[in-house]
Amino acid sequence: MGKNVVVLGTQWGDEGKGKIVDLLTEHAAAVVRYQGGHNAGHTLVIDGEKTVLHLIPSGVLREGVQCLIGNGVVVAPDALLREINKLEEKGVPVRERLRISPSCPLILSYHVALDQAREKARGELKIGTTGRGIGPAYEDKVARRGLRIGDLFHRERFAAKLGELLDYHNFQLVNYYKEPAIDFQATLDQCMEYAELLKPMMLDVTAELHNLRRAGKDIMFEGAQGSLLDIDHGTYPYVTSSNTTAGGIATGSGVGPMYLDYILGITKAYTTRVGSGPFPTELFDDIGAFLAKRGHEFGATTGRARRCGWFDAVILRRAIDVNSISGLCLTKLDVLDGLETIRICVGYKNENGAVIDAPTDADSYIGLEPVYEEMPGWSESTLGAKTLEELPANARAYIKRVEELVGAPIDIISTGPDRNETIVLRHPFA
């Protein structure tokens, strides 16, 4: 019997999912993306060489692994083709390994224009989106007016739908946002070029996943962003436009929850966030700067500096519950090397002095103060450790305390950016 393993982020994204997916795909017949778009940024480092992926599943560098983009992913054809070309320049046969659901919603130029116009109009109240058209594309999908990849292969039908969409969106762009209109003919011509390039990669991804499942193959589901950016369970409205939690797997791939065997939650040994929104443990001092510098905390997709803070056990407990996490992978432990004291947030105190659990929306975080527990740090290096015994005693004590506070086992520990700088205590595919 094969196993279906999920890898997803349990914080606000940027937890180090790409490396872990790449590591575990050694056992997988297929790797599947099921939500998000090219707002994701998964960094892989193999033998010192760095590769950043945005849309293509992280298994693409492995020979014999099928890479599938499920119906829940919004696809920008221009971004996808750029990514394919970059990988092909490195000798990766992407078109042989990649297959895409024709049900994926398209991100086109008017989505990007709307996304950027809205953020500009919000000023200081901006959400902090990547400006890549993700939200407007999901809006079109939910409003049942969106174009999908499968529409590209029917020119007349596509042109008629595109015309209606541009009338609708250009009205907003020109009259409300005072931005230039998107040209119909230029957009149509560009899309027809995309159609020729994308057609050979089309596949009924849901049917293929069930064929693999029935054949007893191992399948990996790769999440994008993090649980606290989920449109329903995140710090709304400072969230992404898709379901980043485990529930998104069923809707975004067509594989029901009963078929999932293990859900691995990726968790940094501290906390980071990109863009706007609440962040109770954020540090504005030298330690925050230390974490940012040591952890190279700049977004793989946007290049924006990430906000840094102490590990937050409160939000992680919520993520574990929402995702039914089987085990955790603790990443970037080595970034904490050299700190004399390490703090863990174990609760939030409101203005009345009462200790409360994680709020369900951004506004409810206003006025909350983190309640910390302190632990001794360690001066020894954990970088590149491959066994638990190689870690300093205080690092092992920190890991144990995190497990106790969040109520889930830490099955994998990442001690560096390279694929082989990893301690595997319990293998998800075992």
**144 in a labelled binding site:** yes
Q: Which of 269, 209, 234, 297 is nearest to 6 (CA)?
A: 209
Of 3, 14, 169, 411, the catalytic one is 14
User: pTM score, two decimals?
Assistant: 0.93
User: Is residue 52, in this structure, part of any structural domain at all?
Assistant: no
- Domain membership of residue 48 (yes or no) is no
239 shares its domain with 273: no
The CATH number given to whatever domain includes residue 306 is: 3.90.170.10
Any idea what the CATH number is for the domain that residue 75 is in? 3.40.440.10
Annotated active-site residue in 3, 141, 233, 268? 141
Which domain-ending residue is among 222, 244, 263?
Answer: 263
Residues 220 and 181 occupy one common structural domain:
no
Residue 151 to residues 52, 157, 161, Cα–Cα distance (Å): 29, 7, 9
- Domain annotation covers residue 8: yes
369 shares a domain with 389: yes
Torsion of CA 160, 165, 168, 171, to 10 degrees: -100
Is residue 293 a part of any domain in this protein?
yes
Which candidate, 269, 312, 323, places its Cα nearest to that of 406? Answer: 312
**386 has catalytic annotation:** no
Q: What is the pLDDT along the chain (430 residues), one digit of tens a residue?
A: 899 999 999 999 989 888 898 889 999 999 999 999 998 777 777 667 778 889 999 889 899 999 999 999 999 999 999 999 999 999 999 999 999 999 999 999 999 999 999 988 887 767 667 789 999 999 999 999 999 999 999 999 999 999 999 999 999 999 999 999 999 999 999 999 999 999 999 999 999 999 999 999 999 999 999 999 999 999 999 999 999 999 999 999 999 999 999 999 999 999 999 888 999 999 999 999 999 999 999 866 667 789 999 999 999 999 999 999 999 999 999 999 999 999 999 999 998 889 888 888 899 999 899 999 999 999 999 999 999 999 999 999 999 999 999 999 999 999 998 888 999 999 999 9
Q: Are residues 240 and 292 in the same domain?
A: no
354 labeled binding residue: no
CATH for 169: 1.10.300.10
Structural domain that includes position 142 = 109-198
In a domain, 51, yes or no: no
Q: Which of 198, 218, 249 is the last residue of a domain?
A: 198
Number of domains in the chain: 3
121 with 161, same domain: the answer is yes
222 and 365 inside one domain? no
For residues 391 and 379, what is the distance between their CA atoms, to the nearest angstrom? 11
Distance CA 41, CA 58 (A): 10
Is position 429 within any domain?
no
Is 14 marked as a binding-site residue?
yes
Is residue 10 domain-resident? Answer: yes
Where a domain ends, among 263, 283, 306?
263
pLDDT at 275: 83
**Active site annotation includes 141:** yes
C-alpha 132: how far from chain center: 15
pLDDT number for residue 299: 67
Note whether 294 and 311 are same-domain residues: yes
Is 206 labelled as part of a ligand binding site? no
The verdict on 173 and 215 lying in the same domain is: no
Q: Which of 3, 38, 42, 54 is catalytic?
A: 42
The yes-or-no answer on residue 204 being catalytic is no
Is 334 annotated in a binding site? The answer is: yes
Residues 96 and 142 in one domain: no
Assess whether 191 and 333 both reside in one domain.
no
Q: Is 310 a domain residue?
A: yes
Residue 40, marked binder: yes
Tell whether 72 and 177 lie within a shared domain: no
Distance from C-alpha of 240 to C-alpha of 335, rounded to nearest angstrom: 27
304 is in an annotated binding site: yes
Q: Which pLDDT score, from 0 to 100, does residue 121 have? A: 85
Q: Is 343 annotated as a binding residue?
A: no
At residue 400, the pLDDT reads: 98
Consult the annotation and say whether 133 binds a ligand: no
Task: Tell me what pLDDT residue 302 has.
Answer: 66
| Pair 407, 317: CB distance under 8 Å | yes
Q: Tell me, yes or no, whether 340 and 237 share the same domain.
A: no
